Structure 1
Amino acid sequence: MKTCSACFRLFSHDSGFCPVDGQRLIPVAQASPPRHREDRRVGATLCGGRYQVWRIVADGGMGRVYQALDLQVGRSVALKILHPEVALDEVSVERFHREFQVSASLPHEHIVEVLAFERTEDHSFALVMEYLEGEELRTVLKRDKVLPPERLVRMLSQVALGLVEAHERKVVHRDLKPDNIFLVGTHDGDRVKILDFGSVRDNSEGAKKLTVVGTTIGSPFYMSPEQAQGLLALDHRADVWSVAAIVFECVTGRVPFQASTGPMILVSIMGSNPLPPSEAGKAYGVPASLDPVMEAAFMKSPEARLPSVGLLADRVGQAYGLAGSHRDWACMPQKELAAQIRAAMPAVLARHEQGSARAAVAGAGRPPVAAVAAPSPGAADAFAEDIVMGVPQRVPRWVVPAVASAAVLLCALVALLIAR
């Protein structure tokens, strides 16, 4: 392993220069980790002397993340260590331990690899994970506001692949959000890692439940209606909703449901519908072909919602004119996806406009009497032929007598009521 003498990042032995500071890297054997005035863990060795902490990576509500050197195997790892006050809460510690158990049981190239669960010398707990060099989707959106279609499709496809095994095992992530989608840059595009399985809902038989009935777990902006209500009947389709909310934000630059407080956000999720993405993201040229996809993903009832993240990824790719499925797009170079989308979008938009025009004509031109007319022999066949490509045809002969009979009956009824 090598390190940078300026930022103290750790790199593989075949690296030459730090991409952040431009400094020539030196072997860790020739350097010493720095000391931190406010954090005694930096520079120390933890968990029985196995992990040597070199720097602070990030802070969160639950704990702090460090980059460390695993002295036993000579690799860079991430240590996620609970804050002291969190380490005193039994439920938080149990969730932390379950994050290790679930992640370790779901080895997948698109799920962060969790290596160990350890106690630290300062009476806390640590998750030992693979160290990832890149950035969270949240950081990207703060900087760039939106993602280009090809980057979105590739990312979404990999998220779908990462979640499929968990969902097949009846494990619901329950906290999918841009903060928990990590993007590792490669020559072909992003390589996605799903983070933080600490809030999972395990619906498998005999699984231990850590959530009190009626409580909500997750981030309000990305919560499904059933999750917002803390319902027991919550399955993988809650994750479909959350991923759809992420997609919406990636193309429009805003979350689908907005309010000033957490409870008001949840009320909005349960009682209103988001703007179509083509309208909310008009400034970014979001195609109208994406609107019906988001509508299907944001159905309030799980039974009416798109049934899987894989199908959601397929529909999003198809909305941009791509052929194939998310399994193809997950490994397709981003430049190739961009070229295919550019070539296909004119035809996609033309088909969408034609379909919308036909639907509008059909809705406006359908004879209202046909829907309420009394059935008669052959009526069903006649009604089926009333609309051809959205254009109303000549009114069938049975309609006029039926309407006349209904009118006579209505007049007789009115006369009877007046007489009484």
Structure 2
Amino acid sequence: MAAPCPHCGSTDGVDHLCSGQSLQLIGQVLDGRYKIESVLGQGGMGMVFRATQTSVQRPVAVKTLNPSLAAAPQFFERFRREAEIASRLRHPNVITIFDFGRAPDGTCYYVMELLQGESLKEVVKREGPMSLRRATSLIEQATQGLAHAHQEGCVHRDLKPHNIMVQDLGGRDFVKVLDFGLVKALEAEEEEQLTSTGQVLGTPQYMPPEQAGGEAVDQRSDLYSMAGVLYFCLTGSSPFGANTVRKALTASLTQQVPAVNSKRQGAPVPAALDAFFRKALSPEKEDRYQSAQELIDAMMESVEDVSAEQLDAMPSGGSSSGVNERGSGSRASGSRAGRPGAGSGSGVRSSRVGASPGRGSTPSNVVIARSQAGAPGGSGSSPSRVRPPPARAAA
């Protein structure tokens, strides 16, 4: 049985979300430093609040972790180790963690920059599948953030459209990957609670077979999930459509990845992209792309001979409103005609397709949490501004 929630006494364990905790924290100063103002969101890991760091009056997002997990023996030490690693990550495309700790009442929390934005899941849900240019641009940025985390020894373990946020910075898409590093500590604790039921943590639709089978994961597992997110951006669905861990494992081991064009109407992608997905979503880690940079290079090579019209074509059900190819850093679109650009790397790629240039310097002090500002997609030749929805957060 799971340890009882210190706030309401529930023993539901990993499935428990404590509404009593949120009611208690609103208006309070957590750990003497963070004044909790409102709820931004909630999920299996815990709840996210908008808060103010009282010492410097800085707006921040505070995530408090599932009380049942936090009450378990040895949890905080695991959490502390993983939070220390995650807080060292400094990359434009990875959310910044400012602080973490445990309050006197036992509440474990971490503090993040507060950003206006919208998850990839919400963008696609609202607008439909993306243009080829925009999808590859967003995934390039996210994968560059992933590369940095992998270099620092940090594996995400739960990459999915919900954990990748898109901001509108000056009319350009800018990507942040959320919840880095902290998944491992939570997973270790929850695995102990779930052993008897045979459950595995993660999101089945984007889970690599080794994770679904309860085996060790590494950076190649993250790359599998990232390829699945690209597939979602292009089609509006996950590669195999599995909604349980068992189905995810069976599908990834026995089925070939459906051709993108079979799920995408009106804006066909090149056959080379299907070859990319077959390798990226291979059931064996050794057969996949072995590094984040290798995945980026292969993705870009699969579309570099595509015409500008095909890059910007919107599939049926997709929205042409909004801004296409909003890059990070100071890069424009590809070095060859039709090679989409973006990402946070340095240097500038010239383009012969007339795509709009990449964004300028990244604000260095944009303060996590996640909120939702519309991140549209459409033609790079006529960008429009997005409407900012109310702030929310990924829990």
TM-score between both structures, scaled by the size of structure 1: 0.63
Report which of the two structures shows the higher radius of gyration computed on alpha carbons.
1
Displacement of 1:91 in angstroms is 6.0
Shift in alpha-carbon separation, 1:340–1:315, aligned structure 2, 3 A: farther
Question: Does the alignment pair 1:261 with 2:244?
Answer: yes
Question: Does the alignment pair 1:186 with 2:169?
Answer: yes
Partners of 1:156 and 1:59 in 2: how far apart?
25
Instruction: Work out which of the residue numbers 41, 46, 53 in structure 2 matches 1:58.
Output: 41
Secondary structure, in 3 states, of the residue corresponding to 1:256? coil
Instruction: Work out which of the residue numbers 316, 339, 342 in structure 2 matches 1:329.
Output: 342
Shift in alpha-carbon separation, 1:272–1:76, aligned structure 2, 3 A: same
Secondary structure, in 3 states, of the residue corresponding to 1:160? helix
Secondary structure, in 3 states, of the residue corresponding to 1:86? helix
Maintained 8 Å contact 1:54/1:67: yes
Q: Alpha-carbon deviations, 1:140-193, whole Å to 9, x = none? A: 122123222232222112112211132234432111111111112112422211
Maintained 8 Å contact 1:86/1:93: no
How many residues of Structure 1 are paired with residues of Structure 2 in the alignment? Answer: 299
Displacement of 1:83 in angstroms is 3.5
Map residues 303-342 of structure 1 onto 2, 5 A cutoff.
Answer: 303-321=286-304, 323-324=334-335, 329-331=342-344, 335-336=356-357
Partners of 1:95 and 1:257 in 2: how far apart?
33
2:119 aligns to what? 136
1:386 aligns to what? none
2:235 aligns to what? 252
Maintained 8 Å contact 2:143/2:226: no
1:296 aligns to what? 279
Maintained 8 Å contact 1:137/1:179: yes
TM-score between both structures, scaled by the size of structure 2: 0.67
1:199 aligns to what? 183
Displacement of 1:328 in angstroms is 5.8
Partners of 1:126 and 1:56 in 2: how far apart?
14
2:31 aligns to what? 47
Map residues 13-162 of structure 1 onto 2, 5 A cutoff.
Answer: 39-48=23-32, 50-90=33-73, 93-94=76-77, 96-162=79-145
One-letter code of the match for 1:43?
G
Maintained 8 Å contact 1:151/1:189: no
Displacement of 1:249 in angstroms is 0.7
Q: Alpha-carbon deviations, 1:215-260, whole Å to 9, x = none? A: 744211111122222223x321111111010011110111111245
Q: Which has the higher contact order (CA 8 A, sep 6+)?
A: 2
Q: What value does the CA root-mean-square deviation take over the aligned residues?
A: 3.3
Moved more, 128-137 or 299-308: 299-308
Partners of 1:77 and 1:141 in 2: how far apart?
27
Q: Which stretches in structure 2 are left out of the alignment for 5+ residues?
A: 1-19, 305-332, 350-354, 359-377, 382-395
Q: Of Structure 1 and Structure 2, which has the larger fraction of its residues in helix?
A: 1
Partners of 1:37 and 1:299 in 2: how far apart?
42
2:202 aligns to what? 218
Shift in alpha-carbon separation, 1:264–1:54, aligned structure 2, 3 A: same
Partners of 1:327 and 1:167 in 2: how far apart?
24
Maintained 8 Å contact 1:57/1:67: yes
Displacement of 1:63 in angstroms is 1.1
Question: Does the alignment pair 1:236 with 2:219?
Answer: yes
Displacement of 1:37 in angstroms is 12
Displacement of 1:93 in angstroms is 4.2
1:382 aligns to what? none
Shift in alpha-carbon separation, 1:166–1:114, aligned structure 2, 3 A: same
Shift in alpha-carbon separation, 1:100–1:278, aligned structure 2, 3 A: same
Map residues 365-384 of structure 1 onto 2, 5 A cutoff.
Answer: none
Maintained 8 Å contact 2:239/2:258: yes
Maintained 8 Å contact 1:222/1:245: yes
Displacement of 1:284 in angstroms is 4.7
